[in-house]
Amino acid sequence: MMLPPTPRVLFLRQLVAAIRRDAPAGRVAVAVDGGRIGGTAFADDLAAVFREAGADAFRASLAGFHTSRAYRTRLGPETPQSHYRDAYDLVALRRVLLDPFRLGGSAGFQTAAFDEARDQPVEARWLTAGPDAVLVVDGEFPLRPSLRGDWNASVLLVNIPQPEAYVEDAHPREHATFLVDESDPAQPRWAPR
């Protein structure tokens, strides 16, 4: 299905073409760093444009890989530093999503493992995908040093403020593949380095 050629869709088509230039075949994992709330709509639309181009595109959010409230507050009230350090279960993210997605074939993967609002694990829902599938993951901190190598491409929405602990440790602007200014969501544009 062809999407209407709005300025947003035209921009996202350019982004998909740029990602596909670097990864023309095989499974592709793309991170959208939009902070805690900023990247979901962008990632949803990016996945839709990948689908328009014929890709089997899947969506996930780092929010589906939170740690429990008890774990996050085991040393006292949550601070910006402890949130950066402890809010996400990166082991589960790799074990049930990133590693099996990359394996291809009939390996099943899950797009979420934990429901932060209910503060409990989610029921496993295993998915499979074709050999050239695309996974678009949005959320906070996807460009932290321990995750950088897990993405074929990454998009940093530069108009979203980032926590100081993350910026100091990860330098996301320097490590993102693409910088996008989405100050006007209807007309995103490339941001300078």
pLDDT at 1: 73
Mean pLDDT of 142-169: 95
* Alpha-carbon distances of 117 from 38, 89, 146, 165, rounded to whole Å: 18, 15, 26, 24
Residue 106 has pLDDT above 80, yes or no: no
Read off the tokens for 106.
């009939």
Residues 6+ apart with CB under 8 A from 102: 27, 29
Neighbours of 61 (CB within 10 A): 19
Q: Which pLDDT band holds residue 154 (cuts at 50, 70, 90)? A: very high
Kindly list the domain boundaries of the chain, sorted by start residue. 7-190
pLDDT above 80: residue 102: yes
Q: What per-residue confidence (pLDDT) applies to 127?
A: 93
pLDDT in tens, 34-67: 977 778 999 999 999 999 999 999 999 999 999 9
% of the chain residues with pLDDT over 70 = 100
Fold of 7-190: Rossmann fold (3.40.50)
Average pLDDT of the chain, as a whole number? 93
